[in-house]
């Protein structure tokens, strides 16, 4: 349940940040050019990210977590850093595969930027997971 909630919260956060970054305010718009509304950009980004997180990221992170649990029997802080590194590597490989098999033209810096975004999206995902696990433990103690 913590992974699903963290996927939803991360998708909401990243979609909001991307929408704020790509939205063109009314004062800067050109005449006779169509611009999407803020809500439209947000909802489209949210739907795409939710699908990616639920269909790909959650099963992938469950696999990584099971491999880490079997391999690393150390302190939780060390396991957290190993988990962050493994998630970053896995998300970056997925982005590279997506770019390699997509028909779009590659622009300079696109691969580097995509890798940074995929690596940075791991931080809120793991952060929300830890937060929801902590809340879950606190709620079961009550």
Look up residue 34 and give its DSSP letter: -
Domain that holds residue 42: 2-141
How many independent structural domains does the chain possess? 1
Of 117, 3, 22, 141, the closest CA to residue 65 belongs to 3
List, for residues 17-60, the tens digit of each pLDDT value: 888 888 777 777 788 778 888 899 899 989 988 998 899 888 98
Q: Compute and round to an integer the Cα radius of gyration of the chain.
A: 18
List, for residues 91-102, the tens digit of each pLDDT value: 888 887 777 777
């Amino acid at each position: 349940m913590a992974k699903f909630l963290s996927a939803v919260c991360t998708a909401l956060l990243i979609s909001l940040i991307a929408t704020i970054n790509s939205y063109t305010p009314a004062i800067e718009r050109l005449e006779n050019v169509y611009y999407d509304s803020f809500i439209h950009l947000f909802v489209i980004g949210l739907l795409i990210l939710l699908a990616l997180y639920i269909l790909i990221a959650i099963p992938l992170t469950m696999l990584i977590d099971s491999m880490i649990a079997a391999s690393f029997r150390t302190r939780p802080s060390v396991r957290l850093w190993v988990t962050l590194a493994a998630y970053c590597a896995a998300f970056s490989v997925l982005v590279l595969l997506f770019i390699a098999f997509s028909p779009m033209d590659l622009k300079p810096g696109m691969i580097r930027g995509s890798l940074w975004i995929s690596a940075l999206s791991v931080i809120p995902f793991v952060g929300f997971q830890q937060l929801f696990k902590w809340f879950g433990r606190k709620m079961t103690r009550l």
